[in-house]
Structure 1
Amino acid sequence: MPAARESLLDAAYTALGRRPWTAVRMVDVAAVAGVSRQTLYNEFGSKEGLARALVRREADAYLAGVDRALATRTEVRERLAAAAEWTASSARDNALVRAMLTGCWSERLPAPTLSAVPSSSAVPAQRRADGPLPSPADFVALVRDRAVAVLSAPGTPKSDTAELARSCELVVRLALSCVAAPPGEGGVTDLVHTVLQRQPTRAGGPQVRSISR
Protein backbone atom coordinates (compact mmCIF):
# COMPACT_ATOMS: atom_id res chain seq x y z
CA MET A 1 0.00 0.00 0.00
CA PRO A 2 2.43 2.72 -1.14
CA ALA A 3 -0.14 5.53 -0.82
CA ALA A 4 -1.11 4.49 2.70
CA ARG A 5 2.54 4.11 3.64
CA GLU A 6 3.42 7.63 2.51
CA SER A 7 0.34 9.05 4.23
CA LEU A 8 1.37 7.36 7.46
CA LEU A 9 4.92 8.67 7.21
CA ASP A 10 3.60 12.16 6.47
CA ALA A 11 1.33 11.94 9.50
CA ALA A 12 4.19 10.74 11.70
CA TYR A 13 6.45 13.55 10.50
CA THR A 14 3.74 16.15 11.18
CA ALA A 15 3.09 14.72 14.63
CA LEU A 16 6.80 14.84 15.42
CA GLY A 17 6.81 18.54 14.62
CA ARG A 18 4.16 19.12 17.27
CA ARG A 19 5.21 16.88 20.13
CA PRO A 20 8.10 14.68 21.28
CA TRP A 21 8.29 11.26 19.67
CA THR A 22 7.54 9.61 22.99
CA ALA A 23 4.17 11.39 22.99
CA VAL A 24 3.29 10.42 19.40
CA ARG A 25 0.62 7.71 19.48
CA MET A 26 0.22 5.12 16.77
CA VAL A 27 -3.54 5.42 16.88
CA ASP A 28 -3.33 9.16 16.22
CA VAL A 29 -0.92 8.68 13.32
CA ALA A 30 -3.30 6.16 11.77
CA ALA A 31 -6.29 8.46 12.25
CA VAL A 32 -4.56 11.43 10.61
CA ALA A 33 -3.51 9.23 7.69
CA GLY A 34 -7.08 7.98 7.32
CA VAL A 35 -6.27 4.31 7.79
CA SER A 36 -6.83 1.77 10.53
CA ARG A 37 -4.31 1.18 13.28
CA GLN A 38 -4.01 -2.39 12.00
CA THR A 39 -2.89 -1.05 8.63
CA LEU A 40 -0.22 0.98 10.40
CA TYR A 41 1.06 -2.09 12.21
CA ASN A 42 0.88 -4.16 9.04
CA GLU A 43 3.12 -1.63 7.30
CA PHE A 44 5.68 -0.96 10.04
CA GLY A 45 5.27 -3.66 12.66
CA SER A 46 5.87 -1.34 15.60
CA LYS A 47 6.54 2.24 16.59
CA GLU A 48 10.25 1.50 16.27
CA GLY A 49 9.61 0.26 12.73
CA LEU A 50 7.72 3.46 11.94
CA ALA A 51 10.59 5.53 13.33
CA ARG A 52 13.18 3.69 11.25
CA ALA A 53 11.11 4.06 8.09
CA LEU A 54 10.63 7.77 8.78
CA VAL A 55 14.35 8.32 9.33
CA ARG A 56 15.16 6.33 6.19
CA ARG A 57 12.73 8.41 4.13
CA GLU A 58 14.22 11.69 5.34
CA ALA A 59 17.72 10.38 4.63
CA ASP A 60 16.70 9.44 1.10
CA ALA A 61 15.08 12.84 0.56
CA TYR A 62 18.25 14.61 1.72
CA LEU A 63 20.42 12.54 -0.63
CA ALA A 64 18.01 13.13 -3.52
CA GLY A 65 18.42 16.85 -2.86
CA VAL A 66 22.19 16.45 -3.02
CA ASP A 67 21.80 14.80 -6.42
CA ARG A 68 19.63 17.68 -7.65
CA ALA A 69 22.11 20.25 -6.38
CA LEU A 70 25.02 18.55 -8.11
CA ALA A 71 23.10 18.55 -11.39
CA THR A 72 22.14 22.23 -11.38
CA ARG A 73 25.25 23.93 -12.83
CA THR A 74 28.08 23.23 -15.25
CA GLU A 75 30.94 24.56 -13.10
CA VAL A 76 32.26 22.09 -10.56
CA ARG A 77 32.75 24.68 -7.84
CA GLU A 78 29.16 25.91 -8.15
CA ARG A 79 27.76 22.40 -8.03
CA LEU A 80 29.66 21.65 -4.85
CA ALA A 81 28.56 24.95 -3.35
CA ALA A 82 24.94 24.10 -4.18
CA ALA A 83 25.29 20.72 -2.47
CA ALA A 84 26.80 22.39 0.59
CA GLU A 85 23.99 24.96 0.70
CA TRP A 86 21.43 22.17 0.46
CA THR A 87 23.10 20.32 3.32
CA ALA A 88 23.06 23.37 5.58
CA SER A 89 19.49 24.36 4.73
CA SER A 90 18.16 20.80 5.07
CA ALA A 91 19.71 20.48 8.50
CA ARG A 92 18.30 23.85 9.51
CA ASP A 93 14.76 23.03 8.36
CA ASN A 94 14.53 19.32 9.22
CA ALA A 95 15.37 18.15 12.72
CA LEU A 96 15.73 14.52 11.61
CA VAL A 97 18.24 15.43 8.90
CA ARG A 98 20.17 17.55 11.39
CA ALA A 99 20.29 14.64 13.85
CA MET A 100 21.41 12.20 11.17
CA LEU A 101 24.17 14.48 9.91
CA THR A 102 25.50 15.39 13.34
CA GLY A 103 24.66 12.30 15.38
CA CYS A 104 22.99 14.52 17.98
CA TRP A 105 19.53 13.15 18.70
CA SER A 106 17.50 15.30 21.06
CA GLU A 107 14.97 13.86 23.49
CA ARG A 108 12.18 15.05 21.21
CA LEU A 109 13.25 12.78 18.36
CA PRO A 110 13.10 9.07 17.78
CA ALA A 111 16.53 7.53 18.16
CA PRO A 112 16.47 4.27 16.19
CA THR A 113 19.61 2.17 16.30
CA LEU A 114 21.87 2.66 13.29
CA SER A 115 22.64 -1.03 12.98
CA ALA A 116 20.33 -3.43 11.18
CA VAL A 117 17.52 -5.02 13.16
CA PRO A 118 15.91 -8.44 12.59
CA SER A 119 12.91 -8.13 10.30
CA SER A 120 9.96 -10.42 9.79
CA SER A 121 8.14 -7.91 7.61
CA ALA A 122 6.84 -8.95 4.21
CA VAL A 123 6.87 -5.30 3.08
CA PRO A 124 10.02 -4.68 0.96
CA ALA A 125 10.24 -1.00 1.94
CA GLN A 126 10.13 -1.93 5.61
CA ARG A 127 12.77 -4.62 5.21
CA ARG A 128 14.98 -1.91 3.72
CA ALA A 129 14.23 0.42 6.63
CA ASP A 130 15.16 -2.40 9.00
CA GLY A 131 18.63 -2.43 7.45
CA PRO A 132 21.44 -0.22 8.77
CA LEU A 133 20.73 3.50 8.87
CA PRO A 134 23.42 5.99 7.76
CA SER A 135 25.72 7.40 10.41
CA PRO A 136 27.28 10.88 10.05
CA ALA A 137 30.42 9.25 8.62
CA ASP A 138 28.26 7.32 6.15
CA PHE A 139 26.69 10.55 4.92
CA VAL A 140 30.11 12.08 4.32
CA ALA A 141 31.08 9.09 2.18
CA LEU A 142 27.72 8.93 0.38
CA VAL A 143 27.72 12.61 -0.58
CA ARG A 144 31.41 12.56 -1.52
CA ASP A 145 30.98 9.52 -3.76
CA ARG A 146 27.85 10.97 -5.39
CA ALA A 147 29.73 14.18 -6.14
CA VAL A 148 32.72 12.35 -7.60
CA ALA A 149 30.46 10.21 -9.80
CA VAL A 150 28.69 13.28 -11.19
CA LEU A 151 31.67 15.60 -11.52
CA SER A 152 34.37 13.29 -12.86
CA ALA A 153 35.00 13.76 -16.56
CA PRO A 154 35.27 10.59 -18.68
CA GLY A 155 38.82 9.32 -18.79
CA THR A 156 39.99 11.36 -15.80
CA PRO A 157 43.27 9.93 -14.41
CA LYS A 158 43.00 8.12 -11.09
CA SER A 159 45.23 10.69 -9.40
CA ASP A 160 42.91 13.52 -10.43
CA THR A 161 39.84 11.54 -9.38
CA ALA A 162 41.43 11.04 -5.97
CA GLU A 163 42.11 14.76 -5.76
CA LEU A 164 38.52 15.51 -6.70
CA ALA A 165 37.33 13.08 -4.03
CA ARG A 166 39.40 14.89 -1.40
CA SER A 167 37.95 18.24 -2.47
CA CYS A 168 34.40 16.85 -2.41
CA GLU A 169 34.90 15.41 1.06
CA LEU A 170 36.34 18.72 2.23
CA VAL A 171 33.22 20.52 1.00
CA VAL A 172 30.93 18.01 2.72
CA ARG A 173 32.76 18.39 6.00
CA LEU A 174 32.69 22.17 5.63
CA ALA A 175 28.92 22.02 5.11
CA LEU A 176 28.54 19.88 8.22
CA SER A 177 30.55 22.40 10.23
CA CYS A 178 28.06 25.06 9.09
CA VAL A 179 25.25 22.90 10.46
CA ALA A 180 26.83 23.07 13.91
CA ALA A 181 27.91 26.72 13.63
CA PRO A 182 25.97 28.75 11.01
CA PRO A 183 28.25 30.82 8.77
CA GLY A 184 28.33 34.59 8.76
CA GLU A 185 27.95 37.01 5.88
CA GLY A 186 28.35 35.30 2.52
CA GLY A 187 27.04 32.01 3.83
CA VAL A 188 28.13 28.52 2.90
CA THR A 189 28.74 29.37 -0.75
CA ASP A 190 31.45 31.91 -0.01
CA LEU A 191 33.19 29.47 2.30
CA VAL A 192 33.14 26.75 -0.36
CA HIS A 193 34.48 29.17 -2.99
CA THR A 194 37.30 30.26 -0.69
CA VAL A 195 38.30 26.71 0.20
CA LEU A 196 38.23 25.42 -3.37
CA GLN A 197 40.26 28.35 -4.65
CA ARG A 198 43.08 27.08 -2.48
CA GLN A 199 42.96 23.55 -3.90
CA PRO A 200 45.42 22.52 -6.64
CA THR A 201 44.06 22.74 -10.17
CA ARG A 202 44.33 19.69 -12.41
CA ALA A 203 42.35 18.27 -15.30
CA GLY A 204 39.07 17.06 -13.90
CA GLY A 205 39.77 18.81 -10.59
CA PRO A 206 37.33 21.07 -8.76
CA GLN A 207 38.32 24.32 -10.47
CA VAL A 208 37.94 23.10 -14.05
CA ARG A 209 34.99 24.97 -15.53
CA SER A 210 34.32 22.88 -18.61
CA ILE A 211 32.60 19.88 -17.07
CA SER A 212 29.04 19.82 -18.38
CA ARG A 213 27.73 16.45 -17.25
Structure 2
Amino acid sequence: MPAARESLLDAAYTALARRPWAAVRMVDVAASAGVSRQTLYNEFGSKDGLARALVRREADGYLAGVERALSGPRDPRERLTATAEWMMSAAHDNVLVRALLTGCWNERLPAPALSAVPSSSGVPAQRRADGPLPSPGDFVTLVRDRAVAVLNGGGPLAPPAAVELARSCELAVRLALSCVAAPPAEGGVADLVRTALPRRLTA
Protein backbone atom coordinates (compact mmCIF):
# COMPACT_ATOMS: atom_id res chain seq x y z
CA MET A 1 0.00 0.00 0.00
CA PRO A 2 2.11 2.89 -1.32
CA ALA A 3 -0.08 5.66 0.14
CA ALA A 4 0.12 4.22 3.66
CA ARG A 5 3.85 3.67 3.28
CA GLU A 6 4.45 7.29 2.29
CA SER A 7 2.24 8.54 5.13
CA LEU A 8 4.21 6.43 7.59
CA LEU A 9 7.53 7.70 6.26
CA ASP A 10 6.24 11.28 6.47
CA ALA A 11 5.17 10.66 10.07
CA ALA A 12 8.54 9.14 10.93
CA TYR A 13 10.38 12.10 9.41
CA THR A 14 8.21 14.55 11.35
CA ALA A 15 8.79 12.61 14.57
CA LEU A 16 12.54 12.66 13.95
CA ALA A 17 12.45 16.45 13.62
CA ARG A 18 10.95 16.66 17.12
CA ARG A 19 12.92 14.08 19.09
CA PRO A 20 15.91 11.75 18.81
CA TRP A 21 15.31 8.59 16.81
CA ALA A 22 15.76 6.45 19.94
CA ALA A 23 12.73 8.21 21.45
CA VAL A 24 10.53 7.79 18.36
CA ARG A 25 7.90 5.12 19.09
CA MET A 26 6.38 2.93 16.40
CA VAL A 27 2.92 3.28 17.94
CA ASP A 28 3.16 7.09 17.69
CA VAL A 29 4.31 6.93 14.06
CA ALA A 30 1.37 4.68 13.19
CA ALA A 31 -1.11 6.91 15.01
CA SER A 32 0.24 10.03 13.33
CA ALA A 33 -0.11 8.39 9.91
CA GLY A 34 -3.65 7.26 10.73
CA VAL A 35 -2.96 3.54 10.32
CA SER A 36 -2.69 0.60 12.68
CA ARG A 37 0.56 -0.45 14.28
CA GLN A 38 0.18 -3.79 12.49
CA THR A 39 0.14 -1.97 9.14
CA LEU A 40 3.38 -0.26 10.12
CA TYR A 41 5.02 -3.58 10.96
CA ASN A 42 3.62 -5.19 7.81
CA GLU A 43 5.29 -2.50 5.71
CA PHE A 44 8.65 -2.19 7.45
CA GLY A 45 9.05 -5.23 9.67
CA SER A 46 10.75 -3.37 12.51
CA LYS A 47 11.93 0.04 13.63
CA ASP A 48 15.25 -0.63 11.88
CA GLY A 49 13.33 -1.42 8.71
CA LEU A 50 11.47 1.87 9.04
CA ALA A 51 14.77 3.71 9.52
CA ARG A 52 16.31 2.13 6.42
CA ALA A 53 13.23 2.93 4.34
CA LEU A 54 13.26 6.53 5.56
CA VAL A 55 16.95 6.94 4.74
CA ARG A 56 16.45 5.31 1.33
CA ARG A 57 13.58 7.67 0.53
CA GLU A 58 15.63 10.73 1.45
CA ALA A 59 18.55 9.45 -0.66
CA ASP A 60 16.24 8.93 -3.63
CA GLY A 61 14.71 12.39 -3.20
CA TYR A 62 18.17 13.92 -3.10
CA LEU A 63 19.19 12.18 -6.34
CA ALA A 64 15.90 13.25 -7.98
CA GLY A 65 16.77 16.84 -7.05
CA VAL A 66 20.19 16.43 -8.64
CA GLU A 67 18.47 15.23 -11.79
CA ARG A 68 16.24 18.32 -11.86
CA ALA A 69 19.21 20.63 -11.33
CA LEU A 70 21.07 19.02 -14.22
CA SER A 71 18.12 19.28 -16.60
CA GLY A 72 17.94 23.07 -16.75
CA PRO A 73 18.28 24.82 -20.13
CA ARG A 74 21.70 26.28 -19.37
CA ASP A 75 25.24 25.79 -20.43
CA PRO A 76 27.16 22.91 -18.80
CA ARG A 77 29.04 25.16 -16.38
CA GLU A 78 25.80 26.66 -15.07
CA ARG A 79 24.17 23.24 -14.80
CA LEU A 80 27.02 22.02 -12.62
CA THR A 81 26.79 25.20 -10.56
CA ALA A 82 23.04 24.64 -10.08
CA THR A 83 23.72 21.04 -9.09
CA ALA A 84 26.28 22.10 -6.48
CA GLU A 85 23.79 24.65 -5.10
CA TRP A 86 21.11 21.94 -4.90
CA MET A 87 23.49 19.64 -3.03
CA MET A 88 24.15 22.38 -0.50
CA SER A 89 20.50 23.33 0.00
CA ALA A 90 19.36 19.70 0.27
CA ALA A 91 21.95 18.99 2.96
CA HIS A 92 21.07 22.20 4.80
CA ASP A 93 17.34 21.41 4.84
CA ASN A 94 17.48 17.67 5.56
CA VAL A 95 19.48 16.15 8.41
CA LEU A 96 19.32 12.67 6.89
CA VAL A 97 20.71 13.88 3.56
CA ARG A 98 23.48 15.70 5.41
CA ALA A 99 24.37 12.53 7.29
CA LEU A 100 24.32 10.48 4.08
CA LEU A 101 26.61 12.93 2.30
CA THR A 102 29.09 13.35 5.13
CA GLY A 103 28.89 9.98 6.87
CA CYS A 104 28.36 11.80 10.18
CA TRP A 105 25.45 10.21 12.05
CA ASN A 106 24.88 11.84 15.41
CA GLU A 107 23.02 10.33 18.33
CA ARG A 108 19.71 11.97 17.31
CA LEU A 109 19.58 10.10 14.02
CA PRO A 110 18.97 6.53 13.03
CA ALA A 111 22.26 4.96 11.94
CA PRO A 112 21.35 2.18 9.54
CA ALA A 113 24.18 0.01 8.26
CA LEU A 114 25.15 0.97 4.72
CA SER A 115 25.59 -2.68 3.76
CA ALA A 116 22.62 -4.83 2.85
CA VAL A 117 20.67 -6.58 5.62
CA PRO A 118 18.77 -9.86 5.28
CA SER A 119 15.22 -9.16 4.12
CA SER A 120 12.20 -11.41 4.23
CA SER A 121 9.82 -8.56 3.44
CA GLY A 122 6.99 -9.20 1.02
CA VAL A 123 6.99 -5.46 0.19
CA PRO A 124 9.21 -4.74 -2.87
CA ALA A 125 9.99 -1.21 -1.68
CA GLN A 126 11.19 -2.57 1.65
CA ARG A 127 13.34 -5.23 0.02
CA ARG A 128 15.02 -2.40 -1.88
CA ALA A 129 15.45 -0.36 1.31
CA ASP A 130 17.04 -3.40 2.94
CA GLY A 131 19.63 -3.47 0.17
CA PRO A 132 22.87 -1.48 0.43
CA LEU A 133 22.45 2.23 1.15
CA PRO A 134 24.74 4.70 -0.65
CA SER A 135 27.88 5.84 1.17
CA PRO A 136 29.35 9.36 0.77
CA GLY A 137 31.72 7.95 -1.86
CA ASP A 138 28.81 6.34 -3.69
CA PHE A 139 27.09 9.72 -3.92
CA VAL A 140 30.17 11.28 -5.50
CA THR A 141 30.20 8.56 -8.16
CA LEU A 142 26.43 8.61 -8.73
CA VAL A 143 26.21 12.39 -9.15
CA ARG A 144 29.41 12.65 -11.21
CA ASP A 145 28.39 9.89 -13.60
CA ARG A 146 24.86 11.23 -13.96
CA ALA A 147 26.21 14.73 -14.64
CA VAL A 148 28.56 13.39 -17.31
CA ALA A 149 25.72 11.46 -18.97
CA VAL A 150 23.31 14.41 -18.94
CA LEU A 151 25.83 17.04 -20.05
CA ASN A 152 27.18 14.76 -22.75
CA GLY A 153 23.69 14.06 -24.04
CA GLY A 154 24.53 10.39 -24.52
CA GLY A 155 26.79 11.07 -27.50
CA PRO A 156 30.44 10.05 -27.83
CA LEU A 157 33.18 12.43 -26.74
CA ALA A 158 36.79 12.38 -27.83
CA PRO A 159 39.04 11.12 -24.98
CA PRO A 160 40.47 14.53 -23.97
CA ALA A 161 37.00 16.11 -23.83
CA ALA A 162 35.56 13.11 -21.98
CA VAL A 163 38.31 13.26 -19.36
CA GLU A 164 37.87 17.02 -18.91
CA LEU A 165 34.10 16.69 -18.53
CA ALA A 166 34.39 13.88 -15.97
CA ARG A 167 36.99 15.83 -13.98
CA SER A 168 34.87 18.97 -14.04
CA CYS A 169 31.79 17.08 -12.87
CA GLU A 170 33.70 15.42 -10.04
CA LEU A 171 35.29 18.73 -9.04
CA ALA A 172 31.85 20.39 -8.78
CA VAL A 173 30.50 17.48 -6.70
CA ARG A 174 33.47 17.42 -4.34
CA LEU A 175 33.40 21.21 -3.89
CA ALA A 176 29.73 21.00 -2.99
CA LEU A 177 30.37 18.20 -0.50
CA SER A 178 33.21 20.13 1.11
CA CYS A 179 30.84 23.07 1.53
CA VAL A 180 28.28 20.79 3.19
CA ALA A 181 30.89 19.89 5.80
CA ALA A 182 32.33 23.42 6.10
CA PRO A 183 30.00 26.10 4.62
CA PRO A 184 31.83 28.98 2.92
CA ALA A 185 31.82 32.29 4.76
CA GLU A 186 30.71 34.29 1.75
CA GLY A 187 29.92 33.91 -1.92
CA GLY A 188 28.54 30.43 -1.50
CA VAL A 189 29.30 27.27 -3.40
CA ALA A 190 28.26 28.81 -6.73
CA ASP A 191 31.19 31.24 -6.72
CA LEU A 192 33.59 28.44 -5.86
CA VAL A 193 32.33 26.18 -8.63
CA ARG A 194 32.33 28.93 -11.26
CA THR A 195 35.87 29.88 -10.29
CA ALA A 196 37.15 26.30 -10.35
CA LEU A 197 35.54 25.12 -13.60
CA PRO A 198 36.92 25.95 -17.05
CA ARG A 199 35.25 29.01 -18.58
CA ARG A 200 34.30 26.97 -21.63
CA LEU A 201 33.27 23.54 -20.47
CA THR A 202 32.93 21.14 -23.40
CA ALA A 203 29.89 18.92 -23.41
TM range (shorter): over 0.9
Please report the TM-score for the alignment, with normalisation by the length of structure 2: 0.96
**AA in 2 matched with 1:186:** G
RMSD of aligned C-alpha atoms? 1.2
Aligned to 1:171: 172
Aligned to 2:151: 151
Is the counterpart of residue 140 in structure 1 residue 140 in structure 2? yes
Is the counterpart of residue 30 in structure 1 residue 37 in structure 2? no
Deviation by residue 1:27-58 (Cα, 9 ceiling, x = unmatched)? 00000000000000000000000000000000
Matches within 5 A, 1:33-182: 33-153=33-153, 154-182=155-183
Secondary structure of the corresponding residue to residue 197 of structure 1: coil
**AA in 1 matched with 2:21:** W
CA distance in 2, matches of 1:87, 1:152: 21
**Shift of residue 166, structure 1, vs aligned partner:** 1.2
CA distance in 2, matches of 1:159, 1:57: 37
Aligned to 1:188: 189
Secondary structure of the corresponding residue to residue 141 of structure 2: helix
**Shift of residue 74, structure 1, vs aligned partner:** 2.3
**Shift of residue 180, structure 1, vs aligned partner:** 1.1
Is the counterpart of residue 3 in structure 1 residue 38 in structure 2? no
Q: Where does structure 1 lack aligned partners over 5 or more consecutive residues?
A: 202-206
CA distance in 1, matches of 2:120, 2:67: 32
CA distance in 1, matches of 2:177, 2:2: 33
**AA in 2 matched with 1:136:** P
CA distance in 1, matches of 2:11, 2:159: 47
CA distance in 2, matches of 1:136, 1:101: 5
Secondary structure of the corresponding residue to residue 35 of structure 2: coil
**AA in 1 matched with 2:86:** W
Please report the TM-score for the alignment, with normalisation by the length of structure 1: 0.92
Task: Between 77-86 and 147-156, report the one with greater CA deviation.
Answer: 147-156
**Shift of residue 15, structure 1, vs aligned partner:** 0.1
**AA in 2 matched with 1:126:** Q
Change (3 A) 1:108 1:43: same
Task: Between 173-182 and 155-164, report the one with greater CA deviation.
Answer: 155-164
CA distance in 1, matches of 2:185, 2:191: 10
Secondary structure of the corresponding residue to residue 125 of structure 1: helix
**AA in 2 matched with 1:2:** P
Secondary structure of the corresponding residue to residue 142 of structure 2: helix
**AA in 2 matched with 1:47:** K
Deviation by residue 1:165-205 (Cα, 9 ceiling, x = unmatched)? 1111111000001011111322111100000037xx5xxxx
CA distance in 2, matches of 1:158, 1:27: 57
Aligned to 2:13: 13
Identity %: 77
- Which aligned segments of 4 or more residues in structure 1 are displaced greater than 4 angstroms? none
